[in-house]
A = this chain, B = another copy of it.
């Protein structure tokens, strides 16, 4: 197993948070808009301060990505009494939260810059996003699936494979289309419907 890049807590002051928020807004406005001059301008700080705080442009990028990653709340997974109804709710809620995050502007912008970065040298951001995104999701849901299996509500051989299938059922083509700039965003209602359908299909495949 590759050494899990420990996600630095890296706590920032409120003022630094403002700067990171400014960087994030530039990232959302357009990946190529995030220049040191640009951030300094809209954050009303000097470039010297940026370099003092974040080292270099990559450092600022990494900090921005972690700043946003720290904001996404992963759904609370209550492992108390697991009956079929409770498990269904948890899985469905999880899918809904996942879809909501992936379809958000911030997430799309973040994943865009991470994908771009992964295509170059310095394979940094891709790993970070992968750890805080897809892999973290797996770490959260898999215990629930295994608990469901333990009480006989689910049947599968490998929880990793089961989770990957659930991921596919939920995300389908949404993320790649958004990353490629398809002008289309799922509405709240659509996200809800898709999460419901995905949960239903998941139980059709793995339920007992």
**Residues of A with Cβ closer than 8 Å to B?**
2, 30-32, 109, 111-121, 123, 126-127, 129-130, 133-134, 164-165, 167-173, 175-177, 179-183, 201, 204-205
Contacts and interface: CB of A to CB of B under 8 A. Distances in A.
A189 B53 CA distance: 48
Contacts of A115: 111-112, 115-116, 179-180
Contacts of A114: 180
A116 to B, nearest CB: 4
A118 B205 contact: no
Interface of chain A, main secondary structure: helix
Given A30-B120, A112-B119, A172 B177 contact: no
Given A30-B120, A116-B31, A118-B112, A164 B173 contact: yes
A130 B182 contact: yes
Nearest to A119: B31
Most buried by B among A2, A113, A126, A133: A126
Contacts of A2: 183
Contacts of A109: 119
Contacts of A32: 119-121
A173 B180 contact: no
Given A32-B120, A118-B112, A119-B113, A168 B179 contact: no
Given A168-B173, A173-B168, A201-B205, A112 B123 contact: no
Contacts of A201: 165, 205
Contact of A164 (B117, B130, B172, B182): B172
A126 to B, nearest CB: 4
Contacts of A119: 30-32, 109, 112-113, 116, 181
